[in-house]
């Protein structure tokens, strides 16, 4: 059900946490969405509170308050609702107590650590925008022995396979045998950005853990564990975008 008359169907689905607008459009094109009992094939449709919307045969229901969770993604899970190769996904492994949620950004299958989850697709979209300016920090284990100037090209920004990466901060924490641990900070999360950038300067990544996303920290969350962000914290960090947030049960 749409809460505002005349909203586009894809935006309504995003607001309910079904998927991002782009993924919602794909679901519509695949015939997975019906309005008033009729499958629709185009996202160019406005709906109102009176319309009955179903996704994969399930009624959309009433939109709940804005909620966000911190989740410690284990290694070996794909960050997608469905995987064409049949690999296990994050959403197959979430605690049963969570409602339907979408992820804020992605972590590749071999990466682990902090993944933000939300029931609101518009919040997802806002937090993923580079203009939000939130720093993402990672603990990264590299194979090799970095020297003093090994990461200098990354601090200036580097081009890899025709794609320009923004400057990233890299701090060498310690050398451990043939591996080195570094802390990497970036403001964008492009596809396998850190792995590709490190390979460009001569190092292979054999472990990558996201430890923070903006003000949100992984802390002591165990792999596979989720913790809801407190309402007050959510309002402090998201401002007017979290005006609908209410104390969760």
How do residues 183-234 score in pLDDT, each as one tens digit? 999 988 788 999 999 999 999 999 999 999 999 999 999 999 999 999 888 8
pLDDT one-digit tens code per residue, 29-75:
999 999 999 999 888 889 887 889 999 988 887 777 889 999 999 99
Q: Which residue has the higher pLDDT, 47 or 247?
A: 47
Residue labelled with tokens 């994050």: 90
- pLDDT tens string 136-181: 999 999 999 999 899 999 999 999 999 999 999 999 999 999 999 9
Quick check: 193 and 185 in contact, CB under 8 A?
A: no
Q: What is the pTM (predicted TM-score) of this model?
A: 0.76
Distance of CA 45 to the CA centre of its chain: 27
Task: List active site positions.
Answer: 108
SS (H, E, C) 107-118: CCCCCEEEEEEE
Q: Are 209 and 139 in contact (CB under 8 A)?
A: yes
């Amino acid at each position: 059900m749409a809460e505002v008359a005349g909203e586009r169907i894809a935006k309504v689905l995003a607001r309910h946490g079904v998927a991002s607008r782009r993924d919602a459009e794909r679901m519509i094109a695949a015939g997975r969405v019906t309005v008033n009992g009729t499958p629709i094939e185009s996202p160019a449709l406005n709906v109102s509170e009176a319309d009955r919307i179903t996704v994969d045969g399930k009624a959309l229901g009433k939109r709940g308050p804005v909620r966000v969770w911190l989740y410690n993604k284990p290694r070996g899970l794909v960050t997608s609702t469905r995987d064409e190769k049949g690999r296990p996904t994050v959403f197959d492994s979430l605690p049963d107590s969570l409602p339907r949620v979408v992820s804020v950004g992605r972590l590749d299958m071999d990466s682990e650590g902090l993944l933000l989850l939300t029931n609101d697709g518009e919040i997802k979209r806002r937090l993923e925008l580079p203009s939000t300016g939130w720093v993402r920090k990672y603990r990264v284990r590299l194979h090799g022995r970095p020297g003093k100037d090994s990461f200098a090209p990354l601090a200036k920004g580097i081009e890899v396979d025709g794609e320009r990466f923004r400057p990233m901060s890299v701090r060498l924490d310690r050398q451990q045998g043939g591996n080195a641990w570094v802390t990497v900070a970036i403001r964008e999360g492009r596809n396998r950005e850190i792995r590709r950038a490190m390979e460009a300067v001569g190092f292979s990544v054999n472990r990558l853990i996201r430890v923070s996303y903006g003000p949100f920290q992984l802390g002591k969350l165990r792999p596979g564990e989720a913790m809801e962000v407190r309402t007050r914290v959510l309002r402090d960090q998201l401002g007017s975008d979290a005006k609908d947030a209410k104390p969760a049960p």
